[in-house]
Amino acid sequence: MSLSRIFRIVFCLLAILGLHLYLLEIRKHDNAIGYRFPADTLRCAIASDGMESTRKAVGFNYELLGAFGDNNGSYMRILPPQQADECWQKLMEDSLAIVVFNSKDSIPEGLRDSVLLSQPVKDDIVWAVSRRNTALNNAINYWYTRFQGESFFKEITRRYFRTYNSAYLRSMLAGGRVQSLSPYDDLVKLHAKRVGIDWRLLSAIIFQESQYNMDALSPMEAKGLMQVMDVTADSYGIPTDDLFDPDTNIKLGTMLFDDLIRDFRKEGLDSVNVIRFALASYNVGGGTLAKRRAETSEAGLNPDNWDDVAVIFRRYSNITPAYIEAVEQTFDLYKQIID
């Protein structure tokens, strides 16, 4: 074979290789840029319609939105739970980029032609964007199609859509220990370890406070998993808009409960009463608890013994004594079924 022919063959091979590398680079560029939506911050809301199916998916979609933001290179500013009508209005005003809602709900008549829907992310839950943001909808669908195959997607699906109620967990006693108590075990363990509280006790409090619903809002405006009040957030320097964020809420609730434990330890109470009084104060507030303890003393009973103080509480209401009993029962169950 002549030298010139060898050069021609080598040249052709190099040209083919160069073209292949060029096409790979184009594909990488498409994946990195063409299927992303350029935005530093995307404001989102999960429509609060009271439907149980939506409530179960709130935490799941909260993590999904975060994962999409990570992929898109955007900060996902997820607003506190919003009423559906308010969400649609904000979407049309472009003050929201994404609204998560149940597709069984009706989009307002005048807005149906102005909204684009993603593919379902779980059952009937979809993400809605303004029709002006076609590129955002395309980015969501492209990302979600690929994301469904990743292990993280399978892991959060398992965490949020398995059963965690006490009746089910109690039924597991005969079969040995369980692997998790809630979708938020890792966060609970993290913050419990920082202050030296049994994470299962914190989990029992969260179960009693919110049934693990991160968007829970009480008639008294207590918010999130541990039902924290705005005034508490203010006292710890935490923005009240962050109270529905699971990490922030559990961190703040844990700090509050730990401070209450420390206060009652300083009084020299025994370990059982320390926990019970801390629970009572967490439930009803320090002012009311102080009044009931003073009344306990006036009645000739021991204000440092919860059983005596509970007698006085029951003259008004059984709510706080029942709360403490429920937390302790759940804690006892948790100790039996998980390390």
Model pLDDT, residue 251: 97
Spatial separation of the C-alpha atoms in residues 199 and 205, rounded to whole Å: 10
Crossing angle between the packed helical segments 286-298 and 306-316, to the nearest 10 degrees: 100
Spatial separation of the C-alpha atoms in residues 96 and 93, rounded to whole Å: 7
Name residues of the chain where pLDDT drops below 70. 1-34, 49-56, 172-176
Residue ranges of domains in the chain: 1-34, 41-159, 166-337
The dotted CATH code for 166-337 is 1.10.530.10
Spatial separation of the C-alpha atoms in residues 288 and 307, rounded to whole Å: 16
Residue 101: partners with Cβ closer than 8 Å, 6 or more residues away = 46, 47, 49, 54, 84, 87, 125, 126, 128
DSSP 8-state code for residue 165: -
CB-CB contact of 140 with 68 (8 Å): yes
CB-CB contact of 136 with 97 (8 Å): yes
CB-CB contact of 229 with 218 (8 Å): no
Map tokens 């991160």 to a residue.
214
**DSSP code per residue over 168-217:** HHHHTGGG---S-SSTTHHHHHHHHHHHT--HHHHHHHHHHHHTT-TT-B
Identify the burial level of 330 via C-beta atoms within 10 angstroms of its C-beta, where 0-12 means exposed, 13-18 middle and 19 or more buried: buried
Identify the burial level of 46 via C-beta atoms within 10 angstroms of its C-beta, where 0-12 means exposed, 13-18 middle and 19 or more buried: buried
Angle made by CA atoms 33, 34, 38, in degrees to the nearest 5 = 60
According to CATH, the topology of domain 41-159 is D-Maltodextrin-Binding Protein; domain 2 (3.40.190)
Q: Would you put residue 107 in left (φ > 0), alpha (ψ -120 to 50) or beta?
A: beta
